[in-house]
C-alpha cells in the first residue's frame, strides 16, 4: 500500500498511527480460493481421491455393528458418511428413545441438523447443546439453534463463562434385551464439509462405562449437576489436565524403576505451562517423548540435560492435521486416548472438553499405527530444533508421505515391512507383521 493511500485511510476511518501495522503480504488470503478456481493447470492442483467407506456402519445395520465391537475411523481417509448415517438412523428408527448431542461448528446445509429436527418432530427426546460462542460461527449457530427449537428440539445455548468444545453423541434405544446406548465421540466438529479437509478421529462404541460417563456429562450440560466420579472418561475444566499430568508422572516413575516408558502426543497446540513442566521432568528421568504439534508449541526440545529426550515434529500437508491423540507406554500395556482438547490453558481450564480412552485392542493398535506413520513422515514433516526454529526433514532419508499413505489405506509397516517404534526402525520379516 502506498503512503498516500495509507494516510487517506488513516484520516477517513479515523485511526491513530499506532493502530496501523504493515505486514509483508496480504492480510486476508481468502481471495486465493477464487484465484485457484481460475487456474486450469492440473499439475498445480491436488487430484481428488475417494475415501474408504466402512460399509458395516452404513444402512440400518449400524447399531448391530457398534453393539458387536468398537469402530475407529480416521477422516478424511475414512468417509464421514457413517457419522451422518448414525444420526439419520437414530432419527428414523422407532426403537430410538432419545438423542443427545453437542454442536460446535456445523455446515450451512447440515444433514445432521436436519436429522435432529426430524427426530424431534417424530416424538423422540432430542437434546442439543449449540455453542453460540464458537468463534466466527456465532451467527450460523444461533440460526440453527432457533431452527431446531422450532422443530421441538431442547436446545441449550452453551454454559455461562465456558465454551463447550467436546464432540459427542449419545443415542438411547429400547431394544428387545432392554435399554441400549450407542455413542460417537470425535476429535473434530460435526461438519461433513470440513471433514473432507481436516484429519480427525471418530470412535463408535456402545461401551457401558463410557455411556454412564456421557450421561453424567449431558446432565451437567443441561444444568442438573457437575459430573462426579466418572468411570473412564475425563472432562475439563481441570479434569483432563489433572489426568494427563498423572499419566506423564506415571511414565517418569516407570522409567526410574527400569520399566518400559514412553509418551506419544499429537495435538494442534502445546503451550500450557503445567503440562510442559511435567513433560520436562519426564524427559529428565529418561522417558522418550514424541510430540506431533502442528501449530503453537512453546516447549523447546533436545536441550542437553533438560529436554534432550523430547522430540517435536509438525506435519503440514494437503489436509489440516486436527486430531488429538494421547498415548502412554504404561510398561508395555499402552493407554491411549482421543480428545477434543489441545494442550492450551483455554482448552484445559476454560472449556468443556472430553478425553476418552480407547479400550478396544484393535482400535488401540490402529491408533498406534496412525501415530507411527505420521512420525515417520519425511515429506510433510518439519522438525523443531532446540532454539525453537523448524527445519525440513533430511532428504537423505526414505521418502515417507503419511497423508499419501493414509489415502492408500496403508501404514509405514505395510509399505516398508518394518515396525516403527519411536525414533528407531526395527526390521521384521513380512510374516511377523
Q: Which residues carry out catalysis?
A: 165
Strands (E), 49-110: 71-75, 96-103
Cell 523447546, residue located:
300
Would you call 31 exposed, middle or buried from its count of C-beta atoms within 10 A (0-12, 13-18, 19+)?
exposed
Q: For residue 114, say if its preceding peptide bond is cis, omega within 30 degrees of 0.
A: no
Contacts of range 423-427, beta carbons closer than 8 Å, 24 or more positions apart: 423/288, 423/290, 423/311
Distance (Å, rounded) from C-alpha 6 to C-alpha 17? 10
Residue 11 CB: number of other CB atoms within 10 A?
9
Distance (Å, rounded) from C-alpha 347 to C-alpha 70? 27
DSSP symbols for 207-258: -HHHHHHHHHHHHHHTTS----S-SS-EEETTHHHHHHHHHHHHHHHHHHTT
Q: Provide the 3-class DSSP secondary structure of residue 186.
A: strand
Q: Provide the 3-class DSSP secondary structure of residue 50.
A: coil
Cell digits of residue 89 = 438412523
Amino acid at each position: 500500500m502506498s503512503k498516500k493511500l495509507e494516510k487517506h485511510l488513516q484520516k477517513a476511518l479515523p485511526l491513530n498511527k499506532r493502530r496501523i501495522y504493515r505486514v509483508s503480504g496480504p492480510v486476508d488470503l481468502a481471495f486465493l480460493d477464487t484465484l485457484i478456481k481460475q487456474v486450469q493447470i492440473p499439475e498445480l492442483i491436488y487430484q481428488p481421491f475417494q475415501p474408504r467407506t466402512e460399509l458395516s456402519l452404513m444402512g440400518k445395520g449400524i447399531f448391530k455393528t457398534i453393539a458387536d465391537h468398537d469402530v475407529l475411523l480416521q477422516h478424511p481417509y475414512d468417509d464421514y458418511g457413517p457419522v451422518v448415517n448414525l444420526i439419520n438412523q437414530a432419527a428414523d428408527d422407532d426403537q430410538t428413545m432419545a438423542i443427545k448431542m453437542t454442536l460446535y461448528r456445523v455446515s450451512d446445509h447440515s444433514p445432521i441438523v436436519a436429522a435432529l429436527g426430524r427426530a424431534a418432530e417424530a416424538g423422540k427426546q432430542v437434546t442439543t447443546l449449540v455453542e453460540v460462542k464458537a468463534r466466527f460461527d456465532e451467527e450460523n449457530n444461533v440460526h440453527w439453534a432457533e431452527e431446531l427449537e422450532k422443530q421441538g428440539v431442547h436446545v441449550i445455548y452453551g454454559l455461562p463463562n465456558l465454551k463447550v468444545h467436546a464432540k459427542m453423541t449419545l443415542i438411547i434405544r429400547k431394544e428387545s434385551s432392554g435399554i441400549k446406548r450407542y455413542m460417537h465421540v470425535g476429535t473434530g466438529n460435526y461438519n461433513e464439509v470440513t471433514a473432507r479437509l481436516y484429519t480427525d478421529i471418530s470412535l463408535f462404541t456402545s461401551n457401558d462405562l463410557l455411556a454412564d460417563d456421557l450421561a453424567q456429562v449431558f446432565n451437567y450440560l443441561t444444568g442438573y449437576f457437575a459430573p462426579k466420579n466418572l468411570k473412564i472418561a475425563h472432562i475439563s475444566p481441570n479434569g483432563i489436565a489433572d489426568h494427563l499430568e498423572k499419566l506423564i508422572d506415571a511414565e517418569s516413575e516407570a522409567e526410574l524403576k527400569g520399566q518400559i516408558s514412553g509418551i506419544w502426543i499429537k495435538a494442534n497446540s502445546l503451550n500450557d505451562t503445567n503440562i510442559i513442566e511435567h513433560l520436562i521432568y519426564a524427559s529428565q528421568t529418561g522417558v522418550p517423548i514424541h510430540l506431533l504439534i502442528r501449530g503453537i508449541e512453546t516447549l523447546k526440545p533436545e536441550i542437553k540435560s533438560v529436554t534432550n529426550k523430547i522430540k517435536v515434529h509438525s506435519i503440514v500437508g494437503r489436509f489440516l492435521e486436527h486430531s488429538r491423540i494421547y498415548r502412554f507406554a504404561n510398561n508395555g500395556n499402552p493407554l491411549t486416548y482421543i480428545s477434543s482438547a489441545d494442550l492450551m490453558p483455554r482448552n484445559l481450564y476454560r472449556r468443556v472438553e472430553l478425553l476418552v480412552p480407547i479400550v478396544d485392542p484393535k482400535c488401540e493398535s490402529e491408533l498406534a499405527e496412525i501415530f507411527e506413520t505420521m512420525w515417520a513422515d519425511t515429506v510433510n514433516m518439519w522438525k523443531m530444533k532446540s532454539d525453537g526454529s523448524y527445519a525440513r526433514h533430511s532428504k537423505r532419508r526414505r521418502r515417507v508421505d503419511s497423508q499419501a499413505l493414509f489415502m492408500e489405506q496403508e501404514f509405514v509397516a505395510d509399505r516398508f515391512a518394518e515396525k516403527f517404534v519411536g525414533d528407531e526402525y526395527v526390521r521384521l520379516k513380512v510374516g511377523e507383521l
